[in-house]
Chains A and B, each alone.
Chain A
Amino acid sequence: MIRRLTAALLLGVAAPLAAQTFVITGATVALGDGSAPIPNGQVVIRDGRVVAAGDIRMKLPADTQVIDATGKWVTPGIVAGFSRLGLAEVDLTASEEGGGGKSDTSGAADDSTSSGPFNAAIDVVPAINPLDTTIAVNRADGVTRALVAPNAGKNIFAGQGAVIDTGADMEPITAARKFQFVELGETGAGNAGGSRASAHIMFRNALREAAELRRYAPGIAASSGRTPDERERPVVQNPNESRVYSADARRSQDVLLTRFDAAALVPVLQGRQYLFVHVERASDIVQVLGLKRDFPALKIVLVGASEGWMVADRIAKAGIPVIASAVNDLPASFEQIAATQSNVGRMKNAGVHVSIGMIDDNDTRNLFMERQYAGNLVGLQKIPGATGVSWGEALAMITSRPAEAIGMGGEIGSLAAGRRADLVIWSGDPLEGTSGAEQVYIDGVRQPLDDHQTRLRDRYRYLERRDLPEAYRH
């Protein structure tokens, strides 16, 4: 895929490498599939896709561009397993830190809808701003894709999340409406009126309403025949865009959801859209596993799961993937009493498919922390009584595992042949926070790595007074 840089971004930025055939040589290559890094490996890219990577020696066309990365490391770009990237330029309200009130910077923050009428129908896509500084900052640190979820406002359902890339262009969406996000733990209880029991019955009722809507509205189940007013109807591009289907479907009197919200849950009910469920407490996890028995088509992904290690065998048996916080170890709430940094390793060892996300942890902006957290999990292997993960698996948890959790492992997250050429050349071991991203490619296109921060750095590197004020240094 050829990407276009916006004119504004092109100014002052070296022209991006056009998508073509190129090879990176001499680097330590980590594929992101859980395997150990390969010294002196190669990565071959053609037309924005990986041709081959690892301990390979291919005959390449004569005009192949060679990038010598001797002494460097190459990995797939980091895939932020759970984030709110691109939804907020400035988020935390000063009064949240100080106690009270809401911020007036909320005009630049779209991660949460605290007073709108809709919930499950909310779709993050129109809110993503690819020019947010947060995207540039994370791109500069090797984050190339992110799973982006909305925050739950006043309902258990937060809405539909997307997969984005962090490329310096105006097309951030990799996959729209990939998952629905629902809160069924403490937050869900609060949003459901005060109890988990209420959250669960709201959830079941919502699926009932979705089922009813589907029954009365064949258009949702499968697009059908034309109607006389066809030109007034929206054009359905994506089967998960339920909001544009049959507005005239009959519904029973006994409904709590708006039509749009109910329609948005039809793909969840049918298993066409993943259902991300945020729970932390062991007993909450068990309840969610139970939902799968009642609604077999649901494609559940657990998010959070700080106490997952206590019921890891059950999660593994249910075959439900987990996107976990990597290093939560505080009883930050009563649903995380048993939190430990060994959670991820223990779940992994029990056979759970685990990836790492930033769940309510600076999730709009600090996605670059994921590789540090992954390194911490590697370090746990040396601690008596703790359970860590191998280096290869730790990298996989921030690259291919989150992609696999939503069925996109064939597309992003590793350097296997055919994957999108999202890759990073690092100055050293990428799981060390001391290593920096030196070159970042998305879909084979080299990305600019400067941003608001690097420009400020360059402006204030030397403070001596000059002939003109600092404002003239740019």
Chain B
Amino acid sequence: MSNKLVPTALAAAFLLTACAGGEEPKTPPIAINEDPYPSTYVRYPGVPTVIRHATVFDGEGRQINDGTVVIADGVVKAVGGPELPTPAGAQEINGAGKWVTPGIIDVHSHLGDYPSPGVSSLSDGNEATSPVRPEVWAEHSVWPQDPGFSRALVNGGVTTMQILPGSANLFGGRSVVLKNVPARTTQGMKFPGAPYGLKMACGENPKRVYGSKGNMPQTRMGNIALTRQTWIKAQAYKRDWDKYEKEGGKMPDRDLAMDTLKGVLDGKILVQNHCYRADEMAIMMDMAKEFGYRVTAFHHAVEAYKIADLLRENDVCAVMWADWYGFKMESYDAIKENIPFVHNAGACAIVHSDDPNYIQRLNQEAAKALADGVRAGIPNLSEGVAWEWLSRNPAKALGILEKTGTLTPGKMADVVMWNGDPFSDYSRPERVWIDGALMYDANDPKRRPVSDFELGQPGQGDTK
């Protein structure tokens, strides 16, 4: 516990204790280090670059034909038409026939905690030993050598991912947001400044995992009761700590699980709630009101279309597949228009993968959803608008929209140049920049990550 204390706080505490006077003074509060495993990510060097004559989706809904994108110093410098000047010393890329977009952000991935190869030795996504495990952190499971990261980059154009714990538990633990830049450590991939998420789960999984062991929860009402009971504990914990942080005195016992839940109640940790059914999402939104927190996003949200208006009113994102259906009872009512219907209701729609294969084709998943929406008569849909489902809205759901997710000057230069319209099954990333550094170039076999696991194996460095 003490190794979580900030050294300066320790020193201050010592000084104040030493000069205590006559009246029994309250020990001033000691600040807890909320970031003991900080990001050590440092962007790689890039070359000032101007892409010209490309079709640009800026992620804010706009499509620019014959567009120009300027990146330098790790950030987007300018986005516009052919009139934009080329800064001195910048390299020019002819983007004619290419598309340029913000990098795709997958808010629901298990790369690293359910990596390839899918052997149990490496499967570290579910701490299925208790339905309440907010104390576990996904970053302590993530194996940065998962070869899946490279596939998501080169085939999927994915530049940022949220890695989540699994859904066996009502409280599955903290998520971690990663830049898709290989590193020796997971901390080396951590997105600087991204808030933590808390994985919660409704529905079939928690009740079945524990019900089958004869433990609570065995039912959906058991799910809700245990979740509420846990929030009650968290509120009490928060009260004790708020008082301590204000008044000092005896430090309350620390509890890692409650630390995470307190972070949610403090608004510092975003709730990422696995929830399929409309009725359960409605309950979870009311639960958030009952205990004073927000649900940031419902993940899988197969029935989001049934309550798209409620999602809009509560400002909760729905994280969805284009057409997965029926693989379990709570996905039985999936429809192919879920994403466009949620979008059309004015709510925040997001395309996600939850899968190491689908993460390589999120653009195609969005394309199908867009086409299904158009066929269903949803107005004002376009490819430019649909790109919001792939980068802007995901960035919003991860609390990093100020930093990435759109091609807005000043934001991180997380950029993909596609070899054709990314809403086509025939198109692939040609180049991918992350923080302005070229991390993938289809024309340069050396600009392609190969994980330690794949070195010296058959097919090493192959186009995958």
On A, residues with C-beta under 8 Å from B are: 89-95, 97-101, 103, 105, 133-134, 137, 282, 307, 310, 327-334, 336-342, 361-362, 364-366, 368, 372, 375-376, 378-380, 382-386, 427, 431-436, 452-454, 456-457, 460-461, 463
- Report the Cα distance A336→B11, complex, angstroms: 55
Q: Is the CB of A99 within 8 A of B371?
A: no
Chain A residues, Cβ within 8 Å of B209: 94-95, 98-101
Chain A residues, Cβ within 8 Å of B459: 337-340
B425 interface contact, C-beta 8 A:
yes
Interface readout for B436-464 with A: 1 if CB under 8 Å, 0 if not?
00000011010000000110011100111
The smallest beta-carbon distance between A248 and chain B, in angstroms, is: 45
Chain B residues, Cβ within 8 Å of A93: 208, 328
* 20 chain-A/chain-B pairs, Cβ below 8 angstroms: A90-B328, A94-B204, A94-B328, A98-B128, A98-B208, A103-B208, A282-B458, A307-B458, A331-B454, A340-B462, A340-B464, A372-B364, A375-B426, A379-B420, A379-B425, A434-B424, A453-B334, A453-B336, A457-B376, A463-B308
The smallest beta-carbon distance between B426 and chain A, in angstroms, is: 4
Q: Is the CB of A330 within 8 A of B463?
A: no
The smallest beta-carbon distance between B351 and chain A, in angstroms, is: 13
B151 interface contact, C-beta 8 A:
yes
Interface centre among A103, A133, A331 (most CB of B within 10 A): A331
Chain A residues, Cβ within 8 Å of B375: 427, 436
Q: Is the CB of B332 within 8 A of A368?
A: no
Interface readout for B166-195 with A: 1 if CB under 8 Å, 0 if not?
111000000000000000000000000000
Q: Is the CB of B428 within 8 A of A460?
A: no
Further 6 A-B residue pairs, CB within 8 A, beyond A329-B155, A433-B368? A341-B155, A372-B368, A379-B426, A431-B426, A432-B367, A433-B425
Classify the secondary structure of B's interface with A: loop
Chain B residues, Cβ within 8 Å of A341: 155, 463-464
Please report which residues of chain B, range 289-336, place their CB below 8 angstroms from some CB of chain A when the two chains form the complex.
305-309, 323-330, 332-336
Chain B residues, Cβ within 8 Å of A376: 361, 364, 425-426
Known contacts A365-B326, A378-B426, A384-B442: A457-B337 contact under CB 8 Å: yes
B28 interface contact, C-beta 8 A:
no
- Report the Cα distance A435→B419, complex, angstroms: 20
- Report the Cα distance A460→B126, complex, angstroms: 35
Interface centre among B206, B213, B356, B464 (most CB of A within 10 A): B464
The smallest beta-carbon distance between A379 and chain B, in angstroms, is: 4
- Report the Cα distance A91→B327, complex, angstroms: 5
B370 interface contact, C-beta 8 A:
yes
The smallest beta-carbon distance between B309 and chain A, in angstroms, is: 5
Chain A residues, Cβ within 8 Å of B137: none
Q: Is the CB of A337 within 8 A of B457?
A: yes
Q: Is the CB of B116 within 8 A of A332?
A: yes
Chain B residues, Cβ within 8 Å of A386: 463
B423 interface contact, C-beta 8 A:
yes
Known contacts A331-B116, A461-B376, A463-B345: A134-B326 contact under CB 8 Å: yes
The smallest beta-carbon distance between A111 and chain B, in angstroms, is: 12
Chain A residues, Cβ within 8 Å of B308: 463
Chain B residues, Cβ within 8 Å of A329: 151, 155, 360, 464
B427 interface contact, C-beta 8 A:
yes
A384: contacting residue among B118, B370, B376, B443, CB under 8 A: B443
The 4 closest A-B pairs by CB, nearest first: A375-B425, A338-B459, A94-B204, A98-B168
B18 interface contact, C-beta 8 A:
no
The smallest beta-carbon distance between B100 and chain A, in angstroms, is: 17
A100: contacting residue among B212, B372, B423, B458, CB under 8 A: B212
> What's the tally of chain B residues with a CB closer than 8 Å to chain A?
74
Q: Is the CB of B118 within 8 A of A333?
A: yes
Chain A residues, Cβ within 8 Å of B206: 98
- Report the Cα distance A432→B364, complex, angstroms: 9
A435: contacting residue among B370, B371, B377, B454, CB under 8 A: B371
B117 interface contact, C-beta 8 A:
yes
Known contacts A99-B128, A332-B117: A383-B442 contact under CB 8 Å: yes
Chain B residues, Cβ within 8 Å of A365: 325-327
- Report the Cα distance A100→B123, complex, angstroms: 13
A330: contacting residue among B337, B356, B364, CB under 8 A: B356
The smallest beta-carbon distance between A343 and chain B, in angstroms, is: 10
Chain B residues, Cβ within 8 Å of A91: 327-328
Chain A residue nearest to B461 in the complex (CB):
A385
Q: Is the CB of B333 within 8 A of A342?
A: no
B15 interface contact, C-beta 8 A:
no
Chain A residues, Cβ within 8 Å of B391: none
Q: Is the CB of B166 within 8 A of A461?
A: no
The smallest beta-carbon distance between A334 and chain B, in angstroms, is: 6
The smallest beta-carbon distance between A335 and chain B, in angstroms, is: 9
Chain A residues, Cβ within 8 Å of B208: 93-95, 98, 101, 103
A432: contacting residue among B213, B333, B425, CB under 8 A: B425
Q: Is the CB of A460 within 8 A of B453?
A: no
- Report the Cα distance A54→B357, complex, angstroms: 36
Known contacts A333-B117, A376-B361, A434-B371: A461-B462 contact under CB 8 Å: no
Q: Is the CB of B458 within 8 A of A310?
A: yes
- Report the Cα distance A107→B130, complex, angstroms: 29
Chain A residues, Cβ within 8 Å of B335: 453-454, 456-457, 460
Chain B residue nearest to A379 in the complex (CB):
B426
Chain B residue nearest to A435 in the complex (CB):
B371
Known contacts A337-B458, A338-B459, A382-B428: A95-B212 contact under CB 8 Å: yes
Known contacts A105-B329, A331-B454, A337-B458: A383-B324 contact under CB 8 Å: no
The smallest beta-carbon distance between A252 and chain B, in angstroms, is: 40
The smallest beta-carbon distance between B361 and chain A, in angstroms, is: 7
Known contacts A332-B117, A333-B118, A433-B367: A89-B419 contact under CB 8 Å: no
Chain A residues, Cβ within 8 Å of B95: none
Chain B residues, Cβ within 8 Å of A137: 325-326
- Report the Cα distance A137→B117, complex, angstroms: 32
Q: Is the CB of B151 within 8 A of A330?
A: yes
A98: contacting residue among B155, B167, B370, CB under 8 A: B167
Chain A residues, Cβ within 8 Å of B309: 463
Known contacts A461-B376, A463-B345: A105-B328 contact under CB 8 Å: yes
Known contacts A379-B426, A463-B345: A89-B464 contact under CB 8 Å: no
Q: Is the CB of B147 within 8 A of A100?
A: no
B48 interface contact, C-beta 8 A:
no
- Report the Cα distance A362→B328, complex, angstroms: 12
Chain B residues, Cβ within 8 Å of A384: 442-443, 463
B99 interface contact, C-beta 8 A:
no
Q: Is the CB of B426 within 8 A of A382?
A: yes
Please report which residues of chain B, range 113-153, place their CB below 8 angstroms from some CB of chain A when the two chains form the complex.
116-119, 126, 128, 147-148, 151
- Report the Cα distance A435→B425, complex, angstroms: 11
Chain B residues, Cβ within 8 Å of A327: 357, 360
Chain B residue nearest to A336 in the complex (CB):
B117
The smallest beta-carbon distance between B385 and chain A, in angstroms, is: 15
Chain A residues, Cβ within 8 Å of B356: 330, 332
Chain A residue nearest to B333 in the complex (CB):
A456
Known contacts A105-B329, A383-B442, A434-B368: A97-B458 contact under CB 8 Å: no
Q: Is the CB of A342 within 8 A of B424?
A: no
Chain A residues, Cβ within 8 Å of B443: 384
Chain B residues, Cβ within 8 Å of A435: 371
B341 interface contact, C-beta 8 A:
yes
B205 interface contact, C-beta 8 A:
yes
- Report the Cα distance A427→B151, complex, angstroms: 31
Chain A residues, Cβ within 8 Å of B329: 90, 94, 105
